[in-house]
Structure 1
Amino acid sequence: MAEEAGTWTLADRIDRLFLTVCRPDGEQYTHEEVARACREATGETFSATYLWQLRHGRRDNPTKRHLEALAKFFQVPVTYFFDDARGDEIAKEIAFLGALRNAGVRNVALRAVNLSPDGLDTVSDIIDTIARREQLRSQGR
């Protein structure tokens, strides 16, 4: 996936939705679940295979109605697919909401609510240090 949301392909954007907008039990929606909901919303043909092709870049020219159905299902504005600037903002919001679904992240955030600005800066510095160490470790250094 591209680093900056503005350089994301349609496939990247759809994949990001699948990865961050999950069922209430925390599991990803299946292609069949999403395709069925999109078929019901549009009345048009929309198969799990077609959705997989869109998600993996094998197809890249869906109808506007298909994109509107995907946007409705994942509860994002349809501009997520069409407007790079707005898509960037929405992608950041999606990533943030996805992170908050993680109980550990949510716990840290809730515990940090009452910290002073200096305390928050300290926590931020610690997180940056740990992230750098983990990145080096994952690179085998």
Structure 2
Amino acid sequence: MAETEPTPTSLSRRIDGLFRLARRPDGLPFSNEEVATACREATGVSFSTTYLWQLRTGRRNNPTKRHLEALADHFEVPVSYFFDDEHGAKIAAEIELLGALRDAGVRSVALRAVGLSSEALGTVSDLIDVIAVREAAARRARGAGEDRPAAEDRPAAEPFDDRV
């Protein structure tokens, strides 16, 4: 009889969500090993990479209070993130926003938008939506079997060199 995958629990989704949303200072995602090591070193609590993986995938769903506190400390969220649906959703949205603001281009747009009226911010939002739709359509067209990349994705032509 084949073993079935466990159904992710609310807790496992939240723990995994921290890994998806939070980033290291260099912008890369944290690995299970990095987080388990950091939690062990910060708290002295036994915390293996395998155990963390099990929590993320729902294979284990009853961590100790100390494990959750260690994870909360590492990801800089309150422990209530793991238990309170409303509070957890707010924290996840804040983490996602902070991640987006790490991108220099997003940060530049956000800083330039400070002080704009709500009407002007609505216009900026509408423009972003239109551009996102156009870019998604262009990606789909390129992925739908076009043999050549779009002009903006092709490398510039090399100058002709008649030396042999």
- The bucket for the TM-score relative to the shorter chain is 0.7 to 0.9
User: Which structure is richer in relative contact order (CA contacts within 8 A, separation 6 or more)?
Assistant: 1
The Cα RMSD (Å) is: 2.2
2:73: which partner in 1?
72
Structure 1 SS opposite 2:14 = helix
Q: CA deviation at 1:95?
A: 1.1
User: How far apart are 1:88 and its partner, in Å?
Assistant: 1.2
The one-letter code sitting in structure 2 at the alignment partner of 1:30 is: S
- For 1:62, what is the secondary structure of its paired residue? coil
1:28-84 CA distance string (max 9 Å, x none): 222112111222344332101111121122222211110111000110000000111
Gaps of 5+ in 1: 1-7
Q: How many residues align?
A: 134
Percent sequence identity is 64
1:115 aligns with 2:116: yes
The answer as to 2:56 corresponding to 1:55 is: yes
Provide the TM-score with structure 2 as the length reference.
0.71
How far is the alpha carbon of 1:129 from its aligned partner?
A: 2.2
Which structure 2 segments of 5+ residues have no match? 1-8, 145-164
1:76 partner amino acid = V
More helix as a share of residues: 1
